[in-house]
Amino acid sequence: MPAARLMDEAEVRRAVTRIAHEIIERNKGAEAVVLVGIAARGDDLARRLAAEIGRIEGRTVPVGALDITFYRDDIGIRAEAPEVHETRIDFDINGWTVVLVDDVLFTGRTIRSALDALVDFGRPTAIQLAVLVDRGHRELPIRADFVGKNVPTRRDEDVRVILREVDGEDAVLVDDPVTREPATNRPGREGMRA
Amino acid sequence: MNGHLLSIHDLSADEIVRILDTAESFREVGTRVIKKVPALRGRTVVNLFYENSTRTRISFELAAKRLSADVINFSTSGSSVSKGESLKDTALTLQAMGADAIVIRHSSSGAPLTLTRWVKGSVLNAGDGTHEHPTQALLDLYTMRDRLGRLDGLRVAIVGDVMHSRVARSLSFALVKMGAEVTLVGPPTLIPPDAPAWGVRVSHQIGAVLPELDVCYVLRVQRERQRQQYFPSVREYARLFGLSRERAEMLPDGALVMHPGPMNRGVEIDSDVADLPRAVIEEQVTNGIAVRMSLLYLLLGGSGSQAAGGSADEAGAVRLPEEVATGA
């Protein structure tokens, strides 16, 4: 598949480390911070950020996974009901600062859904947003608090984050829309059920 | 999935796995403080029950409500059906009111299929006569997979009144499709003669089967459907086929006891046995909500359901004169 590499393994690692420091700095430590990653891949990034923050601060940061499928605004518009991933938030978010984590920030619609989903779990003190890539083209008034890399893209390009946990390596790729493979060939999330 | 769920035969093994996997996510929703997601906001689900039901109707109602759909419960008593309205006119009325899905239970086998010719929305079979009860089978599969980790190769006995049981039919078809080994157990009068063609074994000796099982699935003795004497007495049935405490002890460690409810304690299952830790009867009920949420979501969550409704409509247009001719 002809795809340009926007970030390689080392760049992804440095971005995660920097975002971890920024989260600690912004929140004056990590005592009141929990991380919630948006499935798929946002949850893997959230676990990495939590490990990094834990390493820096010497304390464990709770981390959860959120599936936003049931909160999408295009259910009934797409031909098939969208595939569902696992949601696992086994801690109380009331009174905590929740850092939402996603791989790519694009239209903002996923984040809108995630905000709706999150408030069904409780009333956090604040919600912040961390993304590995911000590629622009927002359709809603949403911005990220922590960004790994800002990447100007064309609307029809396909920006993909691949991660070691799922895909075997870390990288951010942008696909050439002219010769792009069908979206169904994109690496899927296999083995969701153990 | 196509636009309806009428029979287990409508589903491939892959589709069954997808339904069960999606149900997994909905079970998580059921553990939240706010047990509700907006997935089917603005959709209308009608529960059309021509037979009495507690758990299936409430389960479907809760499932639809937890998906934020609007729910209308329609039972035959207290409605225009008691004034003699036909199924077709009732269906057309519900359609005119904009029902996106109709969940139907009816004493006539095939009533849900007939309904698909008249309405545009999805039809879900919640039990039709002695034909099928596919959502019960799917929630049973979910419970078995959840507890035992697999379906392939599971040894399951379905004990009792198989003849009159739509649950037994749907469950047998589904288990065989998923690679389980099914044995039907009961008096010869209550085992359908065509059962071996389902891909199952038949036994009339419960004691011989129990020590080999992963699941002992006990059926309710459906006296309301039995039009003649199929066994000499309830006491004799209980003695020969009831799951007594002594019989339950013959089951291997870890084997489950299941029952679709409502139970006749002391007839097909001893009261003690129904309360054993290995009896997962209440779990079946809880899981039923998640599985029905999964089905409603998969059937109504895509615009594909509209397309499937459209094709059913076309079929209806073709078949409608025939229905009129037969006076349906």
Pick the catalytic residue: B55, B88, B147, B201?
A: B55
Give residue-wise pLDDT tens across range B182-221. 999 999 999 999 999 999 999 999 999 999 999 999 999 8
Give residue-wise pLDDT tens across range A14-29. 999 999 999 999 999 9
Residue A168: strand, helix, or coil? coil
Known catalytic residue: B223?
no
Share of chain B above pLDDT 70, in %: 90
User: A81 and chain B: CB distance < 8 Å anywhere?
Assistant: yes
Residue A36 has pLDDT above 80, yes or no: yes
Measured distance CA(A146)–CA(A130) in Å, rounded: 4
- A67 to each of A37, A86, A159, B39, B100, how far by Cα in Å? 9, 6, 20, 12, 25
Residue B309 has pLDDT above 90, yes or no: no
Measured distance CA(B70)–CA(B79) in Å, rounded: 19
Measured distance CA(A33)–CA(B41) in Å, rounded: 32
Residue A54 has pLDDT above 60, yes or no: yes
Range of lowest pLDDT (B35-44, B240-249, B302-311) = B302-311
Share of chain B above pLDDT 90, in %: 76
CATH number of A10-75+89-153: 3.40.50.2020
Give residue-wise pLDDT tens across range A120-154. 999 999 999 999 999 999 999 999 999 999 999 99
Range of lowest pLDDT (A18-27, B217-226, B231-240, B281-290) = B217-226
Q: How confident is the model at residue B172, as a pLDDT?
A: 98
Residue A191 has pLDDT above 60, yes or no: no
Q: How confident is the model at residue B322, as a pLDDT?
A: 32
Known catalytic residue: B235?
no
Q: How confident is the model at residue B33, as a pLDDT?
A: 87
For B233, residues 6+ apart whose C-beta sits below 8 A from its C-beta are: none
ω before A40 within 30° of 0 (cis)?
A: yes
Question: According to CATH, where is 3.40.50.1370 located in chain B?
Answer: 8-133+285-325, 134-284
* Per-residue confidence band for A179, with pLDDT thresholds at 50, 70 and 90: low
Residue B324 has pLDDT above 80, yes or no: no
CA Rg value for chain B = 20
Q: Give the fold, CATH level 3, of B134-284.
A: Rossmann fold (3.40.50)
User: A115 and chain B: CB distance < 8 Å anywhere?
Assistant: no
Residues from chain A that touch B33, judged by Cβ atoms under 8 A, are 121-122
Residue B1 has pLDDT above 60, yes or no: no
Share of chain A above pLDDT 90, in %: 79
Q: How confident is the model at residue B280, as a pLDDT?
A: 97
Q: Would you list the DSSP string of A174-189?
A: EE-TTTPPPGGGS---
Average pLDDT over residues B154-178: 97
User: Are the Cβ atoms of A121 and B34 closer than 8 angstroms?
Assistant: yes
Q: Give the fold, CATH level 3, of B8-133+285-325.
A: Rossmann fold (3.40.50)
Q: How confident is the model at residue B130, as a pLDDT?
A: 93
Give residue-wise pLDDT tens across range B63-83. 999 999 999 998 877 677 777
Burial (CB count <10 Å: 0-12, 13-18, 19+), residue B219? buried
Give residue-wise pLDDT tens across range B9-20. 999 999 999 999
Residue A134: strand, helix, or coil? strand
Q: How confident is the model at residue A1, as a pLDDT?
A: 53
Pick the catalytic residue: B4, B43, B66, B105?
A: B105
Q: Looking up tokens 């800002």, which residue turns up?
A: A150
Measured distance CA(B116)–CA(B79) in Å, rounded: 21
Residue B226 has pLDDT above 80, yes or no: no
* Per-residue confidence band for B159, with pLDDT thresholds at 50, 70 and 90: very high
User: B34 and chain A: CB distance < 8 Å anywhere?
Assistant: yes
Known catalytic residue: B227?
no
3-state secondary structure chain B: CCCCECCHHHCCHHHHHHHHHHHHHHHHHCCCCCCCCCCCCCCEEEEEECCCCCHHHHHHHHHHHHCCCEEEEEECCCCHHHHCCCHHHHHHHHHHCCCCEEEEEECCCCHHHHHHCCCCCEEEEEEECCCECHHHHHHHHHHHHHHHCCCCCCEEEEECCCCCCHHHHHHHHHHHHCCCEEEEECCHHHCCCCHHHHCCEEECCHHHHHHHCCEEEECCCCCCCCCCCCCCCHHHHHHHHCECHHHHCCCCCCCEEECCCCCCECCCECHHHHCCCCECHHHHHHHHHHHHHHHHHHHHCCCHHHHHHHHHHHHHHHHHHHHHHCCC
Q: Would you list the DSSP string of A136-165?
A: ---SSS---SEEEEE----TT-EEEEE-HH
User: Are the Cβ atoms of B39 and A75 closer than 8 angstroms?
Assistant: yes
B68 near B121, Cβ under 8 Å?
no
* Per-residue confidence band for A192, with pLDDT thresholds at 50, 70 and 90: very low
Q: What is the mean pLDDT of chain A?
A: 89
Q: How confident is the model at residue A52, as a pLDDT?
A: 97
* Per-residue confidence band for B306, with pLDDT thresholds at 50, 70 and 90: very low
Higher pLDDT, A177 or B53: B53
Give residue-wise pLDDT tens across range B103-156. 999 999 999 999 999 999 999 999 999 999 999 999 999 999 999 999 999 999
Residue type, B50: Y
**CB-CB: which of B25, B43, B67 is closest to A67?**
B25
- B118 to each of B7, B76, B112, B121, how far by Cα in Å? 18, 19, 10, 9
Give residue-wise pLDDT tens across range A158-174. 999 999 999 999 999 99
Known catalytic residue: B105?
yes
Decide the pairing of beta strands A171-175 and A158-162.
antiparallel
